[in-house]
A and B are shown apart, each in its own frame.
Chain A
């Protein structure tokens, strides 16, 4: 009895097919996706499909196919593209999603809905916005060097993360901030330069709710901007002008590398008025200071004070930009909701955020200065 049962089951399994089989060799991989605003509310989807041919020894040769189509939704576009290629393409390994600036200025959630809904999609992908350009340009860029565009962009973004320029949030981590009221987010901006041969990281684009505001924190300021958010990559270097000697410009500058940063945010409720203080305590190492003379007594403390003042000033600048864009990247609103729920209920945070007072206080302490004084 038992034996027949087992035999029957086994043969049943053999008889039937493999319902969900998706042979990897029959799939066209898409590693980077681009979306742009098209005409009449349509979107333009651009994909780059690498195809590799096998070599008996060593790496195979690689060729890229760039396809672009316009449709009403991303999945419709996918269907259209499928009709252009011999096999079907699969976005399960998408590494970067690039949005055109025009599209990003509208609600970006509908574009990403498929990514969130499909169990196979890669929520680990990076999101980036193209500044003054279209995603199509970026994806079909004829860049120098042999790497794929997906590698190029993700490498660029990863480098930005490790040097404390960008948050490195992937699709899923953005999702919470996309949906939750009281938290906004910023997305890395890319810019094409050198006649389409070079791609640069040009700062962090500030989003309000689900749309790009058009405002950005420039690449120069992003390190401090990240530190203010309490995040630090592998290295965080700040180059600032602290002196004004007049003769040699280069002697006025100092570069420090942040060893430890400690950000504290204090939210006070003064009769319904929200006042925020952001304290940023940093311990830094001097890594570049051409004017030397650090052995002079009190010199280090002096530099520390100058730096603190300089950075506080810049922080004020950054925060005013953020408030101007009405992009609550610090999650102040969510904190107000969490810790002062009664205030939150009475406020319309969209209206309120640009008006509240946010006071940054940066304190720098120099702990090392390399192997020379």
Chain B
């Protein structure tokens, strides 16, 4: 029959569908940063930074093909077991551990930025630990269901992205295309410098490398999904960038770190006078989905490395780690900035450099394996 009955005992081994893979990538990338992407970009190349965004997207696109190339050589491995096979146990293990640290770092950064945003915009007196605790526990519960539950959940919650888009569209009734001009005012040098910032906002694509083997379908289909997800995110960012660049003038934008929210603050609906509160509430869910992915990745890594315990125990461990680190760093602006820098620059190593190194290594490794077999 076309519909074979499901194996009830083998729930965990069921693979993700293409659609779920797509939304996992999208939801991981669109997270805490979406509110400030226009500001970050604008800080370098002014009104031309949408060009930087596009150029950055193209650069990432090339990298994604590389990642796909690496992943398809190991059809049954996660990133962590891949490391072992590519770099031997002695290099691979420590590398995996570094990756796990990186994921925990990103998770902590998400928690910190999220708590700071909530503290600035909604609840100025609520202590950090409340926000961190709520976020970490809810996400621990989410990740505890396994990758499949994440996939299902992300797919469903993506309806909210449409909602966010609608809210932004609502605010575009006061746009001035004029503000995008003069084009190329800052010059190509700045625009290229802006690519840097653009790439920051795309970090999170690394998830496609880690869970590649847990997705059903041919390699070609998976590549298509990865590329589609990437361009979906690019378009989403481009849209928010355009919306805020045309709403705020060039001299106003440097004053507004969260332009998307600020824009919505201006308008009111007949039932809800303040849309920004509404927006930030939905955005919380997007933050939760990206944090949950990093929680998943790091706990997956730990359980792959130390096979002794189940992943659920590692989830608790990672959750407690993230919570303690974020409490330790606190909401101090300069500390968060330093931490932010550390994490984003290590992102260069873990999300850009290492995957690029893996491309030839994995190719050679595969060739060697083939040679050995025949």
Contact = CB atoms under 8 A, between A and B. Distances in A.
Interface residues of A, number: 30
A371 to B, nearest CB: 35
Nearest to A180: B249
Interface in A1-58: 1, 5-6, 9, 12-13, 16, 19-20
A181 B251 contact: yes
B181 A339 contact: yes
A338 B267 CA distance: 27
A179 B124 contact: no
A277 B316 CA distance: 69
Contacts of B130: 13, 16, 19
Interface in A98-122: 119, 122
A175 B182 CA distance: 21
Main secondary structure of the interface of A (DSSP, over half): helix
A269 to B, nearest CB: 13
Interface in A152-177: 170, 172-173, 175-177
Contacts, number: 72
A341 interface: yes
Nearest to A20: B123
Interface string A214-226: 0000000000000
B252 interface: yes
B50 to A, nearest CB: 15
A19 B268 contact: no
Contacts of B133: 9, 12
B329 interface: no
B250 A180 contact: yes
B125 interface: yes
Contacts of A175: 252
Given A123-B266, A180-B251, A341-B185, A19 B174 contact: no
A20 B124 contact: yes
Contacts of A5: 137, 316
B125 to A, nearest CB: 4
A124 B273 CA distance: 9
B93 interface: no
Interface stretch (A79-87, A248-256, A305-313, A329-337): A329-337
Interface in B219-269: 247-252, 255, 262, 265-268
B182 A180 contact: no
B321 to A, nearest CB: 15
Nearest to A22: B125
Interface string B263-292: 001111000011010000000000000000
A119 B123 CA distance: 10
A254 B262 CA distance: 45
Main secondary structure of the interface of B (DSSP, over half): loop
A119 B120 contact: yes
A334 B121 contact: no
Given A20-B125, A179-B252, A341-B185, A173 B266 contact: yes
B249 A179 contact: yes
Contacts of B276: 119
Contacts of A341: 181-182, 185
Given A19-B127, A20-B123, A20-B125, A335 B178 contact: yes
Contacts of B181: 337-339, 341
B122 interface: yes
Contacts of B268: 124
Nearest to A92: B274
B126 A20 contact: yes
Contacts of B265: 119, 123, 172
A172 B255 contact: no
A20 B130 CA distance: 12
Contacts of B248: 176
Given A12-B133, A170-B266, A179-B252, A19 B125 contact: yes
Contacts of A12: 133
A339 B120 CA distance: 38
A1 B320 CA distance: 14
A180 B252 contact: yes
Contacts of A179: 249, 251-252, 255
B11 to A, nearest CB: 19
Interface in A317-355: 331, 334-335, 337-339, 341
Contacts of B176: 176
A126 to B, nearest CB: 13
Contact of A119 (B122, B250, B255): B122
Interface of A: 1, 5-6, 9, 12-13, 16, 19-20, 119, 122-124, 170, 172-173, 175-177, 179-181, 183, 331, 334-335, 337-339, 341
Complex A-B, nearest 3 residue pairs according to Cβ-Cβ distance, in ascending order = A338-B181, A180-B249, A172-B266
6 contacts: A20-B124, A122-B273, A176-B247, A176-B249, A179-B252, A179-B255
Interface of B: 120-127, 130, 133, 137, 174, 176, 178-182, 185, 247-252, 255, 262, 265-268, 273-274, 276, 316
Given A9-B137, A20-B124, A20-B125, 13 more contacts: A5-B137, A5-B316, A12-B133, A20-B126, A119-B265, A122-B273, A123-B266, A175-B252, A179-B252, A338-B181, A339-B182, A341-B182, A341-B185
